[in-house]
Amino acid sequence: MTAPRQRAASCALALTVGAVHSSGDRLSSQGGSVGVTLSKEQRAAVEHAGGPLIVLAGPGTGKTRVITARVAHLIQERGVNPESVLSVTFTNKAAGELRERLAALIDPVVVARMRACTMHAFGMHILRRFGDMLGLPGEVELLDVAQQRRMAREIIRAEGLYRASIGRGIDAAVEHGLSVSRELVSLGVEPGEALARCDREEQALAGDGSPEARAARAELAMFREAAQLAAHMDRRCLEEGTARFDDLIRWPIALLRASVLARDIVRQECRHVLLDEFQDLNATQIAFLAEICPPGSNPDLCVVGDDDQSIYAFRGADERAFERFEATWPGTTTLKLTTNYRSGAKIVGASNRIISLAGSRFAPDKVGVSGEGAPAGSSVEMVRVANADAGADAIAAMIGRMREDDPAIDLTEIAVIARTNNDLLRVRAALDVIGVPSVSSVSDASHEDAGVQGVLDWCNLLVDPTRTWAARSILAHAPFHLPAPAVGVLEGRYRRERSLAEEGEAPDPGPFMAWAAANAPAGMEEALARAAAMEGVLAKAVSGRPADDALMRIIRQTGVAHAEELGERERAARVRSLVGLVRFVRGRLWRLDQPRDLRALLAYMDDLPESEKRFSPTPEETLDPPESEGVEGDGVRLLTAHASKGLEFDTVFIQQCWPAHGFPKSRSEDPLVPPSIAGADPHGRSAAERRMDEERRVFFVALTRAKRRAVLMAKPPKGKPSSTHFPLELLADPDVGIIDRDASDLPGLEGDELDGIEREGLGADDRAAVLHAARRSVRRAAARALDAAERSDTPGVADDDLLRSASLLAMIAHVERTESIPKWARAAGVYDEAARLVDRLRARRAASEASRSPCPLRLSYTRIKQYLDCPLCYRLKYELKLPAPATAATSLGSALHKALELFMRRWADADNEGRPTPGWAELEEETRRQFFAMWPKDTEVNHDELVRAFGQARMYWDHMHDPRAELTDRFECEFVLPYECDGISHSIAGKIDRIDRLPTGGWKVIDYKTGNPRKALLEPANDDLQLGIYAMALPVLFPGDDCSGSVGEYWMLASGEKGSISLDSLRMDKIRKNIDKAIRGITQGHFPKGRDCGGVCAFLDEPDPLAPDPA
């Protein structure tokens, strides 16, 4: 019989009244139990047990604390089964943070039993369990935008849709149809209902010959085409077992409404539901929630959010979500959290003023107050500027002065928030000039990198060697650098010969590169011959290769990472961009048409909208994204208002607080769904008024990110404002107490330029400041020379000075790129200046690196081992997020690990409960199921690998499964191990396949291996890194338990052999030394290529471009 499952000691959450603060409204836990501090209004929300509950939580009022405490209270105080708790978050990151917070309050094993996920992830969970009731496969494939466009185009052609408007082009019809489909989801209207409403509206207009009626009928006819397209796409997706992202909500609704069995199971498993950021839901998502927690059943349903922070209308969020909730669940209790513990009184007062002027609010009487612990002496300032550029310069000058006044200032506590990315780019440029580092939320522009564009040019040329525009771009850049006009002349001649060949008047000139080499003008022969030869080498290298592999071969063969004279930073950016391209393609490879080569890739990319070509995440990554570090690094945070939500900073600068492209942003949009079908606004607002309310909420969110100081860059109108102007609204209310000043009064902005940027000490440790100062000095000298020439009657009086200035500027540009002295410096007479500049840059870099504070790392055995093997591969995989290609070996390993986990859980449950235990037939079936689930999508199954999986499962059953083993409930047991190195606390995360209790005491740590047996596994060394990490994790997993006498074992599923070692015998000093080596290397940015490494880093090698590809 198996031993009873291990249970950690209970850690009760204390919510009883403790020591009351002087304010009388805060409670804290007492005694030795784990607890949280709650205000009275927070505690009421935590302990509510009277049916549906709205917690209206304003900024800084502790909504996350309330959600965490409520879950802990349900489990610890009310004895709720954690498996019946569902906590729905807006992002996967928020779900992970909730689990971490809960794990600090209650047993992590208990936390693991509850479900915390996004609504879409929960919808996918339901489809995986019950999708067969809709005819769906066990694993639904999510369509991205390109696939949806392709499907819509096929349906429009097959069904003859949009005939009346097809003159605008089929792509316009596709875009209209998909946009309407998304809008219907936001409104909670299914295509069938939309068509029925359309019928009713058309009947109502019948016989009306007025111009308004004719226009309405035309609008309805266009809408009908889109609704029909949506209905056809629904049927096609169900037939093919595919889904769009919104279908992860729509189809579970249909399933729960149609199946009593599925509905009863889901409702039984989700008896206690919490939902964060409720204001961001749309009508369809609220309908999904109503299927899980049916109205009339008095469900334990708690939604938390703030309608004043509803800013995602462009994603379909319903600004009336809370009104809809009250109407759906009558008798709902609403509790308001209004005490802001984040922001000072002045900021809270200003935000109250802004939001009070909204045309519609769920709780108009909700007024924020600054609470205990909020910063004292807060301020709201308005700085008058002439335009957006002046605003960016003023922000830079103020931050520069802050840094000058306090050299140790934490720049991560300063944020610049703007309405658009362009405004952030302006501020970043201004900060760069004065040497202030910044970190931006602006979308990565890797897709615009010249190296990436060069690789794509080669792709186009290899797919179609007659694409002269691709060849023209290739020849204009490194390593050829041919003059564009001369190449243009060749291109014109080639096109003429091709046109004559098409008319039968001349022979076919063939591929452009070969033709150009044969017809090269004088001086271009060698470059064109090399280009034609490279095309031939690349054509052979990529032939028959999948697109991701072909890209890596092009990158390696062209040497695009090294082809230009790039400086250290520029080359790092180039590598990051190239990796982004490969990552983008590899994540979408299965979406390409067979044979998934470069031709299929280019066809796929043609169907992507421009926004999706920015190396955006796949739908699967949106559903379950890879580990993200967020906006990391030292520097001022540059954020859009939407990206700033949920964050807080000591000082916030808000750029361009005036219409029409800032706060508020003016926009006019025609409704996609006719108002007669979408429904009128219940508050009587026009579409423009609703949009302005949204803009007001966006500004409210930006303003409430500030804890102590908010600075608004404003351009007041010359006369009476003709549109909404938020700073003037604040200025008009004397109670707000806004500080009003002009940018010209700021230190450093007195003149026409930023005169203060070269003050002693400012930006002294930053590379950009050194280069800026050097350029500025040269330009001033050049200006003096020009001025002297203008005053003199003698020709050429300033020629030498101007020539020297030109040489100095060229030298500075070279040093910026390469941080080295140019070879021509002595001849140009600028050698000494170049040497001094290089020395200064190197000294600044050394000082910066010496003062850099390492960020805590989240590591794992795999990451540490990868760094020790090849630091460059580590950087590519884990910092630049280059995924490994799916292989048979990884699929087999994942399938066997999952199959053994599920089988052993069932075996242990049956044994504990005295039921018959499962046998080989069950293990075989589970192995089959997991093998097909884990096999790479849309790839032909290798039946030899299936036989191999069965063989390893059988080897486990015959030679390793021991019915007498003292099992615990620790299968695929996750842990997070704190690890300190050089005074910095890092963490090592991992997962142990299985932990058994030894009869003699201690634990048996088991790790399954599906590869071939090796001596290092059969005879583990005393410095075995993986088992050493597991040994460090045992006290974390079993606090207070004596872990001495434990053993670690590798189980070779391929041979039935085991490799074992006493964990007490491990040389932990040697293991820690290796871990420390990896941590120091990573934090210091040391990523050399590993000796003789042939891993993923090989595609960045610098071979002879015309040598055959060794791969």
Taking only the tens place, the pLDDT of each residue in 483-495 is 989 999 999 999 9
Judge if 87 and 168 occupy the same domain: no
Q: Above 50 in pLDDT, residue 945?
A: yes
C-alpha to C-alpha distance for 166 and 306, rounded to whole angstroms = 43
User: Parallel, antiparallel, or unpaired: how do β-strands 53-57 and 333-337 relate?
Assistant: parallel
Cα three-residue angle 3-6-7, rounded to 5 degrees: 140
83-87, 456-460, 628-632, 822-826: least confidently modelled range: 628-632
Domain count, the chain: 7
Rounded to a whole number of angstroms, the CA Rg of the chain reads 33
Length of the chain: 1111
DSSP symbol at 881: -
Contact 486, 521 (CB under 8 A): yes
Supply the DSSP string of 540-564, one letter for each residue: HHHTT--HHHHHHHHHHHHTTTTSS
Confidence of residue 565 (pLDDT cuts 50, 70, 90): low
Q: Which residue is listed with tokens 């290739």?
A: 474
Q: Above 90 in pLDDT, residue 844?
A: no
| Mean pLDDT confidence for 339-359 | 97
Contact 128, 138 (CB under 8 A): yes
Greater pLDDT, 1070 or 96: 1070
| Mean pLDDT confidence for 128-153 | 90
Domain assignment of residue 857, yes or no: no
Judge if 771 and 666 occupy the same domain: no
Supply the DSSP string of 704-732, one letter for each residue: TTEEEEEEEEE---SSS-SS--HHHHHHT
Domain assignment of residue 1099, yes or no: no
Which stretches within 57-169 are classed as H helix? 63-76, 92-103, 108-113, 119-130, 145-159
728-742, 743-757, 881-895, 1040-1054: least confidently modelled range: 743-757
C-alpha to C-alpha distance for 237 and 241, rounded to whole angstroms = 6
Q: Above 50 in pLDDT, residue 751?
A: no
C-alpha to C-alpha distance for 80 and 300, rounded to whole angstroms = 11
pLDDT averaged over every residue in the chain: 87
With pLDDT > 70 as the criterion, what percentage of the chain qualifies?
89
H or E stretch covering 637: strand 636-640
Output the pLDDT for position 768: 64
Q: Would you tell me how many other CB atoms lie within 10 Å of the CB of residue 485?
A: 7
CA 465 to chain centre: 37
Q: What is the CATH number of the domain that holds 265?
A: 3.40.50.300
Confidence of residue 1050 (pLDDT cuts 50, 70, 90): very high
Confidence of residue 747 (pLDDT cuts 50, 70, 90): low
Q: Which residue is listed with tokens 């805590």?
A: 856
Domain assignment of residue 1095, yes or no: no
| Mean pLDDT confidence for 163-186 | 92
Output the pLDDT for position 633: 63
Output the pLDDT for position 23: 34
C-alpha to C-alpha distance for 481 and 524, rounded to whole angstroms = 10
Greater pLDDT, 372 or 1056: 1056
Judge if 152 and 132 occupy the same domain: no
Q: Above 50 in pLDDT, residue 14?
A: no
| Mean pLDDT confidence for 196-223 | 93
Question: Backbone dihedral region of 681: left (phi > 0), alpha (psi from -120 to 50 degrees) or beta?
Answer: beta
Q: Which candidate, 124, 194, 200, 191, places its Cα nearest to that of 155? A: 191
Strand order in the sheet with 272-275: 115-118, 85-89, 272-275, 300-305, 53-57, 333-337
Output the pLDDT for position 384: 96
Output the pLDDT for position 845: 66
Q: Above 90 in pLDDT, residue 778?
A: no
Q: Above 60 in pLDDT, residue 750?
A: no
Q: Which candidate, 812, 821, 782, places its Cα nearest to that of 798? A: 782
Q: At what angle do helices 191-205 and 211-240 cross, to 10 degrees?
A: 160
Contact 659, 725 (CB under 8 A): yes
3-state SS, residue 976: strand
Phi first, then psi, for residue 76 (nearest 5°) are: -85, -40
The answer to whether the Cα torsion of 218, 224, 227, 232 is positive or negative is: negative
Domain assignment of residue 194, yes or no: yes
Judge if 590 and 460 occupy the same domain: yes
Output the pLDDT for position 995: 96
From 827, 851, 875, give the residue that closes a domain: 851
C-alpha to C-alpha distance for 304 and 646, rounded to whole angstroms = 14
Residue pLDDT, tens place only, 795-822:
766 678 888 888 888 888 888 877 889 9
Q: Above 90 in pLDDT, residue 1077?
A: yes
Alpha carbon dihedral 401, 405, 410, 416, in 10-degree steps, equals -20
Beta bridge partners of 858: 987
Output the pLDDT for position 794: 67
Judge if 181 and 114 occupy the same domain: no
Domain assignment of residue 166, yes or no: yes
Confidence of residue 766 (pLDDT cuts 50, 70, 90): low
Q: Would you tell me how many other CB atoms lie within 10 Å of the CB of residue 199?
A: 12
Judge if 575 and 475 occupy the same domain: yes
| Mean pLDDT confidence for 566-571 | 71
Question: Structure tokens of 1062?
Answer: 């006493």
Question: Structure tokens of 101?
Answer: 């917070």
Return the amino acid letter for 943: H
Phi first, then psi, for residue 416 (nearest 5°) are: -115, 125
Greater pLDDT, 110 or 80: 80
Q: Above 70 in pLDDT, residue 444?
A: no
Domain assignment of residue 567, yes or no: yes
Return the amino acid letter for 898: K
Residue pLDDT, tens place only, 393-418:
999 999 989 988 898 899 999 999 99
Confidence of residue 709 (pLDDT cuts 50, 70, 90): very high
1088-1091 long-range contacts (CB < 8 A, ≥24 apart) are 1088/871, 1088/872, 1089/870, 1089/871, 1089/872, 1090/869, 1090/870, 1090/871, 1090/872, 1090/873
C-alpha to C-alpha distance for 129 and 538, rounded to whole angstroms = 47
From 695, 712, 745, give the residue that closes a domain: 745
DSSP symbol at 507: -
C-alpha to C-alpha distance for 781 and 795, rounded to whole angstroms = 19
Question: Backbone dihedral region of 656: left (phi > 0), alpha (psi from -120 to 50 degrees) or beta?
Answer: left
Greater pLDDT, 1104 or 548: 548
Contact 97, 88 (CB under 8 A): no
Q: Above 70 in pLDDT, residue 171?
A: yes
Judge if 149 and 114 occupy the same domain: no
Judge if 300 and 400 occupy the same domain: no
C-alpha to C-alpha distance for 384 and 521, rounded to whole angstroms = 59
C-alpha to C-alpha distance for 804 and 1107, rounded to whole angstroms = 43
Cis peptide leading into residue 660 (ω within 30°): yes
Output the pLDDT for position 449: 86
| Mean pLDDT confidence for 784-797 | 69
C-alpha to C-alpha distance for 1009 and 896, rounded to whole angstroms = 10
C-alpha to C-alpha distance for 635 and 218, rounded to whole angstroms = 54
Return the amino acid letter for 176: H
Judge if 933 and 1011 occupy the same domain: no
Domain assignment of residue 533, yes or no: yes
Contact 1007, 1048 (CB under 8 A): yes
Domain assignment of residue 865, yes or no: no
Phi first, then psi, for residue 275 (nearest 5°) are: -135, 120
* Residue 91 belongs to domain spanning: 26-136+250-337
User: Parallel, antiparallel, or unpaired: how do β-strands 649-654 and 706-714 relate?
Assistant: parallel
Beta bridge partners of 57: 337
Supply the DSSP string of 1033-1094, one letter for each residue: HHHHHSTTS--TT-EEEEEETTTTEEEEEEGGGS-HHHHHHHHHHHHHHHHTT--PPPTT--
Greater pLDDT, 609 or 787: 609
Q: At what angle do helices 450-463 and 468-476 cross, to 10 degrees?
A: 140
Judge if 466 and 586 occupy the same domain: yes
C-alpha to C-alpha distance for 361 and 365, rounded to whole angstroms = 9
C-alpha to C-alpha distance for 55 and 659, rounded to whole angstroms = 33
C-alpha to C-alpha distance for 266 and 86, rounded to whole angstroms = 11
From 189, 205, 240, give the residue that closes a domain: 240
Q: What is the CATH number of the domain that holds 457?
A: 1.10.486.10
47-61, 75-89, 667-681, 949-963: least confidently modelled range: 667-681
Judge if 190 and 54 occupy the same domain: no
Alpha carbon dihedral 552, 556, 560, 563, in 10-degree steps, equals 180
Judge if 526 and 639 occupy the same domain: no
